[in-house]
Amino acid sequence: MYLTNRAYIKPDMKMSDLIVENPRLLILLEHFNLDFVVSDKTVSLLCDENSIPLQLFLLFGNLYNGYQPEVSHIGSPEDIKTIIMFLRNSHIYYKEEKYPEILSYIKQIQDKTHNSEIKLIENFFKDYFTEVLEHLDYEETIAFPYIVNLVEQKGKQVNSDFSANEYREHHTDIETKLTDLKNLLLKHIKISNELPLRRKLFLSLFELGFDLQLHAMIEESILLPIVADIESTMRNE
């Protein structure tokens, strides 16, 4: 368990207090399709009003606050559909927000410094993101449809190319390359000037990395075990 000093989120806590303590929860709300103007609502009320399973919200929220997922009773069809919605929304965040943003920072640094190594970083990042896109595409076209089918047609066999191991391998590759990129920028590539731009680039990479890491954790530690449970129930029926 990775420990932080942040609150362990509970149903009767006020959402606004939690956001002030950890602004990263804003992106959690976005992935749940929630606005961040939350008035004085408690977590429980917020979930209730927006038809989000409370236990699931607590589980994910605590993940964003730095707590490892605990064994839970997540696994109803409603939970699974919400998890997939959450993951799909995070795909949009990676593709439509983080990718263009990071690329734009790299290009700005390149335009201003004419540093040849930045061109290498750009290519590295593009190759890396192609890999991310392939994985997201795999999730959207193979994994998610397989899981939705599994939930909806409980009892019937579902054929698919889905493989839990393949899923996990993708995650490891993606994590390795992003760590490489951060280390290159932090330890090895010397670029003079443009410190604010480089800081923005680094923070943006960090935000992408943080969310991708939780994304992988949600899939590996929460979604895949639920899928395995349903599969084994089906085999026994």
Q: Contact residues for other proteins (CB under 8 A)?
A: 1-3, 68, 116-117, 120-121, 124, 127, 176-177, 179-181, 183-184, 187-190
- Residue closer to other proteins (CB basis): 20 or 120: 120
Question: What is the smallest separation between the CB atom of 231 and other proteins, expressed in angstroms?
Answer: 20
- Residue closer to other proteins (CB basis): 22 or 115: 115
- Residue closer to other proteins (CB basis): 79 or 219: 219
CA distance 106 to 111: 9
Q: Are 158 and 144 in contact (CB under 8 A)?
A: no
CA distance 44 to 23: 19
Kindly write down the DSSP assignment for every residue of 164-213, as one continuous string.
Answer: HHHHHHHHHHHHHHHHHHHHIIIII----S-HHHHHHHHHHHHHHHHHHH
Question: What is the smallest separation between the CB atom of 182 and other proteins, expressed in angstroms?
Answer: 8
- Residue closer to other proteins (CB basis): 48 or 173: 173
3-state secondary structure of 14: strand
Question: What is the smallest separation between the CB atom of 68 and other proteins, expressed in angstroms?
Answer: 8
| Alpha-helix runs per DSSP H in 69-194 | 77-92, 99-113, 116-138, 144-152, 164-183
Question: What is the smallest separation between the CB atom of 228 and other proteins, expressed in angstroms?
Answer: 15
- Residue closer to other proteins (CB basis): 152 or 169: 169
CA distance 59 to 222: 9
Q: Are 105 and 200 in contact (CB under 8 A)?
A: yes
Question: What is the smallest separation between the CB atom of 122 and other proteins, expressed in angstroms?
Answer: 11
